Chains A and B, each alone.
Chain A
Amino acid sequence: MSRLPLTLDQYRISDEPYYRPLKDEVEMFSAAYASRMPVMLKGPTGCGKTRFIEYMAWRLERPLITVACHEDMTAADLVGRWLLDPEGTVWNDGPLTTAVRHGAICYLDEIVEARQDTTVVIHPLTDDRRVLPLEKRGELIRAHSDFQLVISYNPGYQSAIKDLKESTKQRFAALDFGYPDHRVEVEVVSREAGIDARIADLLVKVGKHSRNLKGQGLDEGASTRMLVNAGRLVGCGIDLKEACETTIVVPLTDDLDTRNTLRDVILACA
């Protein structure tokens, strides 16, 4: 069947992504990969989880297949499904199956967004068995020796409704990511946006204060990624306030009062 990717080259990362280690996460992940241990990356959005896994995939020279999980995602979206063509039904591997069959790191981004009954399909892959049963096709795939499963998980969503099952959680080693401390975040924003550390310092202050609004008008405060975006506009000669307006205030919320609050924060910090 020609639809199956015979090579995973398209998923390989050729250039080194910039990543500023916060602690010992690079060594920890390398050790976990050595024994193909499933890893969970915990932390708020935009704090560098995806960048970290890209960096690790590059460093370990493994292809990386990323799946952005969402509420409507079904198990079939992960493992594959029967499709209809003029001749009848035809099986199509999902991204997880592709990674398992051919040996890639499969990264399930924001896994709690997916429903709990969807995520149980990963269970047989995350213990000693390392197999993926395709019930609908009547096939049992043994995982390629290079395969590793990595998930990301935003603790902000913890609740009885949106949480990982205990039986899922306990299969993973977890690396805790947070927004970097002030000095490191300034370094990251300055480096990524190519701006002066003084401007980066102001942006990081804005970010820090906006994070106080989490759950109180904002689902999340401004992430490091947002601050980098603001910095990039400043680097192109845009006024700092305008840059923050475009990359932080407007994207974060549509509520006029909360927008004004964010503007107050920018005024106070700048």
Chain B
Amino acid sequence: MHVSSLDRFRSGRRLAERLHGHDTVKVALQTAQKSLRKRPDWFGQVSAWNDAVLDLFEANLGEAVVLSFLHLSGQWPAQRPMDDVVAIGRAVWEIGRVAGSRVAQAVLAEVPKVLARLVTIDELKVVFAALRQLAVEAPESLVLVVSRLEQLLLLTSAEAFSVWISGGLRAFSGNAARRRDFFGLNDALSTRLLYGRSGTGDDFTRLEKRLGATMLALWNTKPRLRKLAIAAMPPVPRRASLVGGLLGLPEAYPGFEGKRAESIFLAASAHAGAHLTHSRVRFPIDRLKPLQSALTSLIEDARVEALALRDMPGLRRLWLPFHTAAPSAQATAAGLMVRLARALIDPDYADPDTWVGKGRALFKAVADRRDDPATSREIGGLLGNDMGQMRLQFNAKSYVVEPAYRDDNLALWDFGEQPDGQIEEIELPVDSVRVEQHHDGEGDRSDETAPPEESLRSRSSSVAMLEGLPVATYPEWDYAARIERSDWTTILEVDAAISSRSYDLQLDEYATRRVSAITRDASIGRRQRYKGQRDGDALDIDAAIALMIERRAGCIAEPRVYVLDAPGPRDLAILLLLDLSQSTADCDHLGRSVLDIERKTAAIISAAVEAADDTIAVHGFSSDGRERVRYLRKGL
């Protein structure tokens, strides 16, 4: 759009005249203008921006709103177009006119927090249009949504957010109380609509096979993949998790749909593969503060990615698009950390912050020790101390690893011995590893004063302690109460450990003999003789005579004159499930334990079936109370 210099002049003059006598606003205006003038798009947008400021001023929303907008404009990130900030000004003006100054100011306070989630102006417009619609049709609910805007947009895309708002308005158009429940997320329909993501479905299931194969191809390792369902309103967005040799991935990454969903799942599994390959030791959590452990994890993430990029430079194209952090004058601990994460992987990223710069320099300085995980701990500790001195608040309870493709890093830490009996109740264990712990009234304590590692430990919850991922429940009959208790018993899937006591079949003559006998029986199928073939071992005399007679008689016949000797078809697959309960340690009258006999049997059957080129898997189970029925299997 062409804007003449006359327009710019007029709008500027109008604004200056109108602000006459409002010195505070005037000073803020000049500060914002000074900053904006350095931008290349200033001349194209100045007129529209002046108008937006003027409108806000004249809307009687109070000086605080205008000052907030001017402050936001002055701090506007260099890489975001000015169009965006103008659009925000207009939207806030519209919302403010309907909902009042308090809400307008709350919206402006939320904007910097959600900018990273709203990358394009279209996404910004969609969210603000939804908020405007809410302001008009359900002003009583607006503050409920605005106050948790950041959390909502972490969990869902702009489009899905808009669908959720209009869905709630349609469903409860005449009922303000129900609307409050809906927008306060106290309504089942609301959470379903917010996370149901109709149309995209379950990305994990769709991509599972491909992700497993890609892990194997890139890393030559194949952890079993498990789906982590999104809880109704999780405290933090779900991240990938490497627990007990399994890779848990969310069933979907809210806000990532279609091709982007594919990309983030690939990026997440590639990142997990880099950990599995290069994060060979676990750091003792010791007396580390949550901030230090989070920073150590961040550096370790960057370290394993740097190592992976040495061999597979193309992975940078997979990971980089998720690093959208940009310099901002409003420094928060979490904000600086996500900028550092970008600085460590993106060589073209420039960040003026000294802490980020120091992190980058420290990381670069240990480039020749990239194979040593201790460097992550060293740098994490140093940066943690620096950030502590900067008096920046770090809230470990709400902290979530960014960018979204990275895992929760719980697998990097050694939490030491965990006392039993901390888990009092398992809530929704299946498909969701959100296992609730009941804390003892210390929940409100700030994290900086919390005992070391507590936040991380409580976040690890019982996932680490359970040594596996809950995968299913089943009902059990309570013989005392004479009722069937549904979902009573929880199955945890666990990676089977490789025994130090190897079992060599060759040393056991009886076993070898049994294997040979079974293999012989299994491999020799019933052979069949096919007569009258076009090809074969020998002439089929009857057919040959018949053919010659026909030829002599002048007929043209097909020369099917051979006998073929061929084996019949076969197809076999076996799953052997071993009882590994404590009771299998009991011995028979010869002093052999049941478990030993099971081992031997499994070895003989496996050797025989594998020798016959058929498929066999050996799994096991044992239980330790109804909450821990372990199902053991071994990955590759």
Structural contact, A159 and B613, CB atoms closer than 8 A: yes
Asked if B213 and A216 make an inter-chain contact with CB atoms under 8 angstroms apart, the answer reads yes
Residues of B contacting A261 with CB < 8 Å? 210, 213-214, 217
Within 8 A of B (CB), among A134-167: 136, 159-162
Shortest 4 CB-CB contacts between residues of A and residues of B? A159-B613, A261-B213, A268-B312, A257-B210
Asked whether, in the complex, the Cβ of B611 is within 8 Å of the Cβ of A160, the reply is yes
Would B312 and A84 count as touching, CB distance under 8 A?
no
- Contact between A159 and B537, CB atoms less than 8 A apart: no
What is the bound-complex CA distance between A136 and B536, given in angstroms? 13
Q: What would be 8 A-B contacts, judged by CB atoms less than 8 Å apart?
A: A84-B548, A136-B538, A212-B218, A212-B219, A257-B209, A260-B210, A264-B218, A269-B314
In the bound assembly, the distance between CA atoms of A72 and B538 in angstroms comes to 14
**Chain A residues with CB under 8 A of B222:** 216
- Complex: how many Å from CA A89 to CA B561? 12
Whether B537 lies near A212 (C-beta < 8 A) is no
Is A75 in contact with chain B by the CB < 8 A criterion? yes
Q: Which residues of B contact A86 (CB under 8 A)?
A: 551
User: Distance in Å from the Cβ of B516 to the closest Cβ of chain A?
Assistant: 10
Q: Which residues of B contact A162 (CB under 8 A)?
A: 613
Chain B contact residues: helix, strand, loop or mixed: helix
Chain A residues near B538: list those with CB within 8 A.
76, 136
Answer yes or no: A217 CB below 8 A from chain B CBs: yes
A174 at interface by CB-CB < 8 Å: no
Indicate if B439 sits at the interface (CB-CB under 8 A).
no
Which of B216, B317, B610 touches A212 (beta carbons < 8 Å)? B216
Contact of A268 among B209, B315, B539 (CB under 8 A): B315
Give the contacting residue for B564; candidates A74, A209, A217, A267; CB below 8 A: A74
Q: Is the beta-carbon distance between A205 and B210 smaller than 8 angstroms?
A: no
List, in ascending order, chain B residues with CB within 8 A of A262's CB.
217
Which residue of B has the minimal Cβ distance to A158?
Answer: B613
Given contacts A76-B536, A84-B559, A84-B561, contact A258 B613 (CB under 8 A): no
Does A270 sit at the interface, judged by CB under 8 A?
yes
CB nearest to B211 among chain A residues: A261
A265 CB-CB contact with B under 8 Å: yes
- Chain A CB within 8 A of B25 CB: no
**Cα distance A2–B209 in the bound complex, in angstroms:** 58
Interface centre among B220, B313, B537, B551 (most CB of A within 10 A): B537
What's the nearest-Cβ distance from chain B to residue A28, in Å?
Answer: 30
Q: Do A205 and B213 touch (CB < 8 A)?
A: no
A82 to B563, CA, bound (A): 13
| Contact across chains for A269 and B536 when beta carbons are under 8 A apart | no
Decide: A264 near B214, CB < 8 A? Known: A74-B564, A161-B523, A212-B220: yes
Q: List chain A residues, Cβ under 8 A from B523.
A: 160-161
Q: A199 interface residue, CB < 8 Å from B?
A: no
Query: Would you call A205 and B311 a contact (CB within 8 A)?
Result: yes
Interface string of B520-560 (1 = CB under 8 A from A): 00110000000000011111000010011001000000010
- Contact assessment for B535 and A75 in the assembled complex, using a CB-CB cutoff below 8 Å: no
Check B318 against A267 for contact (C-beta < 8 Å).
Answer: yes
B213 in contact with A213 (CB, 8 Å) = yes
Give CA–CA (A213, B220) in the complex, Å: 8
Contact with B along A19-35 (1 / 0, CB 8 A): 00000000000000000
Q: Which of B311, B314, B536 touches A267 (beta carbons < 8 Å)?
A: B314
Chain B residue contacts of A72, Cβ below 8 A: 535, 566
Q: What A residues does B315 contact at CB under 8 A?
A: 268
B561 touches A213 (CB 8 A): no
Q: Which residue of A lies closest to B559 (CB)?
A: A84
Instruction: Please tell me if B519 contacts chain A, counting CB pairs below 8 Å.
Output: yes
Beta-carbon contact of A268 and B210 below 8 Å: no
CA of A24 to CA of B561, assembled, Å: 49
Q: Judge whether A74 and B536 touch: CB under 8 Å.
A: yes
Complex-state Cα separation, A209 to B535, whole angstroms: 41
Does A224 have its Cβ within 8 Å of any Cβ on chain B?
A: no
Residue B433 lies at the interface, judged by CB distance under 8 Å to chain A = no
Are A74's CB and B314's CB within 8 A? no
Given known A-B contacts A74-B564, A161-B613, A265 and B214 have beta carbons under 8 A apart: yes
Asked if A265 contacts B210 (CB within 8 A), the reply is: no
Decide yes or no whether A210 CB sits under 8 A from chain B. yes
Which among A216, A262, A264 has the highest number of chain B CB atoms within 10 Å?
Answer: A264
State how many angstroms separate the Cβ of B266 from the closest Cβ of chain A. Answer: 6
B-facing mask of A61-86, CB < 8 A → 1, else 0?
Answer: 00000000000101111000010101
Counting CB contacts under 8 A, is B270 at the interface? yes
**Separation in Å of the B603 CB from the closest CB of chain A?**
17
Interface contact A160-B536, CB-CB below 8 Å: no
Q: Which of B382-414 contact A (CB under 8 A)?
A: none
Residue of B nearest to A267 (CB): B314
Residues of B close to A89: CB separation below 8 A: 539
Contacts of B270 in A (CB 8 A): 268
Q: Is the CB of B612 within 8 A of A264?
A: no
Bound complex: CA A268 to CA B314 (Å): 4
Q: Pick the contact of A213: B217, B311, B317, B535 (CB < 8 A).
A: B217
- Minimum Cβ distance to chain A for residue B131 (Å): 38
Q: What's the minimum C-beta distance from B4 to chain A, rounded to whole angstroms?
A: 47
B202-216 interface code vs A (CB 8 A; 1 in, 0 out): 000000011001101
Residue of B nearest to A162 (CB): B613
Tell me which residues across on chain A come within 8 A of B209, comparing CB atoms: 257
Q: Report the Cα distance A142→B311, complex, angstroms.
A: 56
A86-B538 Cα distance, complex, nearest whole Å: 19
CA distance A139 to B218 in the complex (A): 57
Closest Cβ of chain A: how far from B130's Cβ, in Å?
35
Is the Cβ of A264 less than 8 Å from the Cβ of B535? no
Take A84-B547, A270-B314 as given contacts and tell me if A264 and B613 are in contact as well, using a CB distance cutoff of 8 Å. no
What separation, in Å, do the CA atoms of A86 and B553 have in the docked complex?
A: 12
When A84-B548, A162-B613, A265-B218 are in contact, do A257 and B312 touch as well, CB less than 8 Å?
no
* B312: A residues at CB distance < 8 A: 205, 268-269
Contact A264 B220 (CB under 8 A): no
Contact partners of A269 in chain B: CB under 8 A? 312-314
| Contact yes or no, A160 B314, CB < 8 A | no
Shortest B493–chain A CB gap in Å is: 20
Question: Which residues B299-323 have CB closer than 8 A to chain A?
Answer: 311-315, 317-318
**Chain B residues, CB < 8 A from A117:** 565
A84 touches B314 (CB 8 A): no
CB 8 Å contact bits of B593-616 with A (1 = contact, 0 = none): 000000000000000001111000
Given A82-B539, A161-B612, A209-B218, A267 and B213 contact (CB-CB distance below 8 Å): no
Bits for B604-634, please: 1 = Cβ < 8 Å to A, else 0: 0000001111000000000000000000000
Taken together as a complex, chains A and B put the C-alpha atoms of A16 and B545 apart, in Å, by 50
A contact residues around B544 at 8 Å (CB): 84
B266:A264 contact, CB within 8 angstroms: yes
When distances are taken between beta carbons in the complex, the residues of chain A under 8 Å from B219 are 212
Q: Return B557 CB to nearest CB of chain A, in Å.
A: 11
Separation in Å of the A95 CB from the closest CB of chain B?
A: 15
Nearest CB to that of B561 among chain A residues? A84
Question: Binary interface profile of A, 86-100, with partner B (CB < 8 Å = 1, else 0)?
Answer: 101100000000000
Bitwise, A114-128 to B at CB < 8 A (1) or not (0) is 010100000000000
Among B314, B544, B610, B613, the one with the most A-chain Cβ atoms within 10 Å of its Cβ is: B314
Q: A86-B551, A161-B612 are in contact. Are A268 and B535 (CB under 8 A)?
A: no
Q: Which residues of A contact B537 (CB under 8 A)?
A: 74-76
* Bound CA span A237–B350, Å: 36
Contacts of B564 in A (CB 8 A): 74
Residues of B204-253 at the interface with A, using a CB-CB cut-off of 8 Å, are: 209-210, 213-214, 216-220, 222
